[in-house]
Chain A
Amino acid sequence: MDFVNQLQRKFIDYSSSLHREGIVDDQFTQLRKLEDENSPHFVMEVASLFFEDCEKLINNMAIALEQKQGVDFKQIDECIHQLKGSSSSIGAMRVKNACIAFRSFSDAQNREGCLRCLQQLSHEYSLLKNKLQTLFLLEQQIVAAGGSIPRVH
């Protein structure tokens, strides 16, 4: 029991740190509230879809920015737009903010600025993915130890 309590404490502290560091915002908390016995892995499923989306869009933007014959900024804009929408929807605050910054350089058709933003976006995405995977692992450990996932508000 003490081991479960320790894990639960660790989970609460880790969840709180994600909010404190701005990795996720209240939208993520709202998503967690949607999880129940009918959809117990909902947040993990949504996160997986988001990771797929993110990787595809970041890859597409990297390719677009490397085109020697000229950068298709319309395509870049479309990718940023999609990523901003999905990151807002899951509460990935820092990824969303990176998209907002990226958009201003894309609107200005500034290739160098876009390359820097893409690097920042990739960094924020990697950070989010690592943090969320750690969170999901903690959840699995709690459940495996016979405990329940604490609600973090």
Chain B
Amino acid sequence: MSGNGASSSSLNMISGEDVVNNNLSALVVDDSPLLRLLHDIHLKKYGLKVQVAENGKVAVDLFHLGASFDLVLMDKEMPVMNGVEATKELRAMGVTSMIVGVTSKNGPGEQQAFMEAGLDYCFEKPLTPEIISFLLEELNKHNNKN
């Protein structure tokens, strides 16, 4: 796992049921219908409003149309526009959402390149309840500051 300030100890601090977010929105970007469904249900369980996109271009187009999301779960390998390209483009547009990379490939070089595109965090699939709780806690902290 890589991230700004993320540590393994902080992943243990919350149980999923403690973090229910009625005001947060998320965009799940993944070319796999299975992963889109999984993450969709998982995030809805925590009270988030969720939209899905099947590749990076659809995600970027949503932002171009004026959509905004607190959290973006970005798969790395996708057709049309992959996660690295999409993340770069979103950051170039000035998008400040928390963008979290999700990857199957676990080579350090792979995650590093993805992080450098502008991610806040990068995790290996599958996202566990502990990781999702951690991300939502970080999102709440970030939103409380603003």
Interface residues, chain A, with chain B CB atoms under 8 Å away: 27, 30-31, 33-34, 36, 38-39, 42, 45-46, 49-50, 53, 81-82, 84-86, 88-90
Using CB atoms, name the residue of chain A closest to B30. A85
Using CB atoms, name the residue of chain B closest to A51. B34
Contact with A along B55-77 (1 / 0, CB 8 A): 00000000000000000000001
- Cβ distance A74 to chain B, nearest Cβ, rounded Å: 13
Contact residue among A27, A33, A39, A86 (Cβ-Cβ distance under 8 Å from B32): A86
- Cβ distance A2 to chain B, nearest Cβ, rounded Å: 34
Give the CA-CA distance A85 to B41 in the complex, in Å. 18
Known: A30-B129, A42-B41. A84 touches B104 (CB 8 A): yes
Q: Cβ of B11 < 8 Å from any Cβ of A?
A: no
| Residues on A with beta carbons closer than 8 Å to the beta carbon of B96 | none
Q: List 10 A-B contacts (CB under 8 A).
A: A27-B126, A46-B34, A49-B33, A49-B37, A81-B104, A84-B104, A86-B35, A89-B34, A89-B35, A89-B126
Give the CA-CA distance A46 to B35 in the complex, in Å. 9
In contact, A86 and B34 (Cβ under 8 angstroms):
yes
Interface residues, chain B, with chain A CB atoms under 8 Å away: 32-35, 37-38, 41-42, 44-45, 77, 104-105, 125-126, 128-129
In contact, A82 and B38 (Cβ under 8 angstroms):
no
B interface, over-half SS: helix
| Residues on A with beta carbons closer than 8 Å to the beta carbon of B105 | 81
- Cβ distance B49 to chain A, nearest Cβ, rounded Å: 14
| Residues on B with beta carbons closer than 8 Å to the beta carbon of A88 | 104, 125-126
| Residues on A with beta carbons closer than 8 Å to the beta carbon of B125 | 85, 88-89
- Cβ distance A83 to chain B, nearest Cβ, rounded Å: 10
Additional pairs, 19, CB under 8 Å, beyond known A38-B44, A49-B33: A30-B129, A31-B38, A34-B41, A34-B42, A45-B37, A46-B37, A46-B38, A49-B37, A53-B34, A81-B77, A82-B104, A85-B35, A85-B125, A86-B32, A88-B125, A89-B35, A89-B126, A90-B34, A90-B38
Give the CA-CA distance A34 to B38 in the complex, in Å. 9
In contact, A85 and B104 (Cβ under 8 angstroms):
yes
- Cβ distance B123 to chain A, nearest Cβ, rounded Å: 12
Using CB atoms, name the residue of chain A closest to B102. A85
Give the CA-CA distance A39 to B32 in the complex, in Å. 19
- Cβ distance B104 to chain A, nearest Cβ, rounded Å: 4
Using CB atoms, name the residue of chain B closest to A36. B45
